[in-house]
Amino acid sequence: MSEPSSDKNTVLMEKIVSLCKRRGFIFQSAEIYGGLNGCWDYGPLGAELKRNLKDYWWRKHVQEREDIVGLDGSILTHQAVLKASGHVGGFSDPMCDCLLSKARLRADQIPAQSGTIWWFTGATHAESGWIVTRDYAVLAKEGEDENKARKTARQYYAQFLSDKQISPKTLDLTGERSESVTETTRFNPENGSLLTEPRAFNLMFRTQMGASSDENDENAIAYLRPETAQSIFAQFKNVLDSSRVKLPFGIAQIGKSFRNEINPRNFTFRSREFEQMEIEYFCRPEDGLRLTDEWLEARLKFYEEIGIPREHLHIVDIPDGERAFYSVKTYDIEYEFPFGIQELEGIAYRSDYDLGVHQKGSGKSLEYFDEETKERLLPHVVEPSAGCDRTALALICEAYDEETVTDDKGKEETRVVLRFSPRIAPIKVGVFPLLKNKPELVAKAREVQKLLTPFMNVFYDETAAIGRRYRRQDEVGTPFCVTIDFDTLGENGDDLKDTVTIRERDSMKQERIAIRDLRGYLLDRIL
RNA sequence: GCGGGUAUAGCUUAGUGGUAAAGCCCUAGCCUUCCAAGCUAGUCAUGUGGGUUCGAUUCCCACUACCCGCUCCA
């Protein structure tokens, strides 16, 4: 994102958030109680949008393929599963932040140091009268000059200055005292600055299961899953034994996951509760890299089909050293959000790491027996893992458009349109009687509504002028609107009897179509 | 987690230490033959909790949430 446009993008994002609330796409969770940090609720239209996205994903990747089957795993997860996967042990280490450099350090890796601690209670700047009161300390190791400690302290206090022109050197320190110390781990070895208290950084939500459970009962601990993948690996053998699947094959899952993010940000983009759409595609080791590339193409095609063009996506081939340690190859698919280019999906070739750790953890064989080659092997896996909420947000951002339209009198106005692909649009068609005070028009419109309702989400509206009703639907992305007028009733001859106007959202063009052809016309365009 | 900012109606904004204003939206009625028409009427707000004060939406403090910049994101 280029620097000059960032203000514009912030404004754009604010408009999108505002539209989402106004029209019932996305609300803040528990808003009437002040909101719950990092949690969001989908309103009536958002729920439809997200459902359409998930349904299309499921249809394309599970129902229309013979090689992928579905799974719907429990959210509460056995602690043994997450111990085996590395989620419990891996990132539960307490971390400290350096108060000066803001570096984050693992508490257990800070070397014990000895020397003199120089404590301060604050700093003042005589000339401006500026004052700060805040405890701080610097460790001067044996042989180090105490003036170095004071210099470090001035740098620390200087960060609170509102006037950045003031030199740290001109600050006077207050409340100085010193004490000698041995074997302390509370100071940054790099610069001697005091660290924050160690804090646990495991991002998993932990809970206790069972009526008699208490916090001290280790066996009662369960976790909300931090990703949907693990239940697929844990159920690998059951799926294999019950479904007659043959390599290569995939297990797909859509569901909620939970991470106690330090810092939720960017509307729904980074939430503490989020939904994933994941496939674990199992294969022979020699096919892994090829399939990773094939999945990348398949997923890009999917995004194209739901209305996110290739030009707005970025593919990042994660280089050696930046991938997770178990991954042989990883692509990130990123989207150009108004707040920056951010990840929608990761496609990771994870080798046999996952099945390996669960085989080891459970003591059960997770090997696959190949009938043709009479060979036993632990399959490798390619994982296309997409964020559902992120994709829904990308769909809204991509669809949002403001258009200047000029009416017959030459008056200009702004039309806000969500240009959703018809297949994911929350409402597929609006049905309107031209006038609401003509009972024949209303009755006919209700008939048309009833005709279409079993096949798609239809919205009936009879209030306000017809143009207003069109604009209302533009703003929520409804691709088609059908209007019942006097021609429909046969007032201008039998040729037009039982025909309606159908108005297309993007072009605002209208055409006349027989009611009996409506269903087919619409279904052709929304599937 | 750190630093900065913000919080008034569904939305966008006024304003005030003493009855909180407008436009848009929405609802109802009248009217209305295809792109936010008109008239009339109506609903709805000072984020939460403290403090100062006779009185706080306004001043102060804390909290919560959101936004921006860092940080973090297995």
Task: Copy the structure tokens of residue A70.
Answer: 């579905």
Please give the pLDDT value at position A508. 93
Q: How far is the CA of A50 from the C1' of B59 (A)?
A: 46
Mean pLDDT along residues A75-86: 91
Q: How far is the CA of A472 from the C1' of B33 (A)?
A: 20
Q: How far is the CA of A378 from the C1' of B72 (A)?
A: 35
Reduced to 3 states (helix: H, G, I; strand: E, B; else coil), residue A436 is: coil
Please give the pLDDT value at position A512. 94
Which residue approaches B3 most closely, CA to C1'?
A160
Mean pLDDT along residues A448-454: 95
Please give the pLDDT value at position A93. 57
Please give the pLDDT value at position A414. 85
Mean pLDDT along residues A444-465: 94
Cα(A174)–Cα(A121) distance, integer angstroms: 6
Which residue approaches B10 most closely, CA to C1'?
A22
- DSSP 8-state secondary structure symbol assigned to residue A91: T
Reduced to 3 states (helix: H, G, I; strand: E, B; else coil), residue A190 is: coil
pLDDT-derived band at A2 (thresholds 50, 70, 90) equals very low
Strands A68-71 and A249-258, bridge-based pairing: parallel
Q: How far is the CA of A67 from the C1' of B29 (A)?
A: 61
Query: Closest nt to A502 (CA→C1')?
Result: B34
Cα(A352)–Cα(A282) distance, integer angstroms: 9
Q: What is the pLDDT of residues A371-383, one digit of tens each?
A: 889 999 999 999 9
Mean pLDDT along residues A232-257: 94
Cα(A84)–Cα(A78) distance, integer angstroms: 10
Mean pLDDT estimate for chain A? 87
Q: Which chain B nucleotides are covered by protein, judged by CB under 7 A?
A: 1-4, 10-12, 25-28, 30-37, 47-48, 64-74
Reduced to 3 states (helix: H, G, I; strand: E, B; else coil), residue A7 is: helix
Task: Copy the structure tokens of residue A55.
Answer: 């349904």
pLDDT value at A360 more than 50: yes
Report yes or no: A361 and A398 within 8 Å, Cβ to Cβ: no
Q: How far is the CA of A146 from the C1' of B37 (A)?
A: 80
Task: Copy the structure tokens of residue A3.
Answer: 């620097």
pLDDT more than 70, % of chain A:
91
Indicate the pTM of the whole model: 0.84
Mean pLDDT along residues A216-241: 91
Mean pLDDT along residues A1-21: 72
Query: Closest nt to A405 (CA→C1')?
Result: B35
Query: Closest nt to A507 (CA→C1')?
Result: B35
Q: Where are the beta strands (DSSP E) in A103-213?
A: 104-106, 113-125, 130-141, 172-174, 177-184, 199-200, 206-208
Please give the pLDDT value at position A488. 94
Query: Closest nt to A199 (CA→C1')?
Result: B1
Q: Where are the beta strands (DSSP E) in A321-388?
A: 329-337, 340-349, 368-370, 375-377, 380-387
Lowest mean pLDDT among A85-94, A158-167, A402-411, A441-450: A158-167
Q: How far is the CA of A14 from the C1' of B4 (A)?
A: 19
pLDDT more than 90, % of chain A:
56
Q: How far is the CA of A441 from the C1' of B3 (A)?
A: 62
Reported ipTM: the value is: 0.91
How far is residue A185 from each of residues A189, A190, A269, measured CA to CA in Å?
A: 9, 12, 37
